[in-house]
Amino acid sequence: MATNSAVSSARGGDKRPVAYVTRVEKFSACHRLHSYESINTQKNVFFEPGADPEGAKGHYNIEVTVRGPVDSTTGMVINITDLKDIINIAVMDKMDHKHLDLDVPDFRDSTLVSTTENVAVVIYEGIKGHLPSHVNLYEVKIHETDKNIVIYRGEYE
């Protein structure tokens, strides 16, 4: 078992180890894939079959990963219960069992298309503002299906 002095010397004195903590949640939501520019067209081919006016139901598995120094007193980057509460506020309360295009202001009040990529961005931005200052949001990963996964890390080009 490592002692405090062994851990301290392994990490270079006053430096603290950095760890990544991931919380996994699941939510269900309905969404409609369509372009507002072609909403009045007979067929929105680009987004078929998700362009159905009634929307399509989706089940999302999300992984929220944060990064930060391990606190020398608590041994944690963040209390996992706090991270769970943040996800509940930013994601579950806002999106679970909702129609993204009709019930979620980020989509309802804009022309943002509710693709999984944009859902990841909205989740990322929502969580980022609730984290303590010493904790950084590393990534939001959404498993739309077993084979379709979107990762967003807050990057822009």
Domain ranges of the chain: 17-152
Out of 3.40.50.12780, 3.30.479.10, 3.40.50.300, 2.30.29.30, the CATH code matching 17-152 is: 3.30.479.10
Q: Looking at the DSSP assignment, which residues form a beta bridge with residue 21?
A: 66
pLDDT, tens digit, for every residue of 75-90? 999 999 999 999 999 9
- Which of 11-15, 36-40, 120-124, 140-144 shows the lowest per-residue confidence on average (mean pLDDT)? 36-40
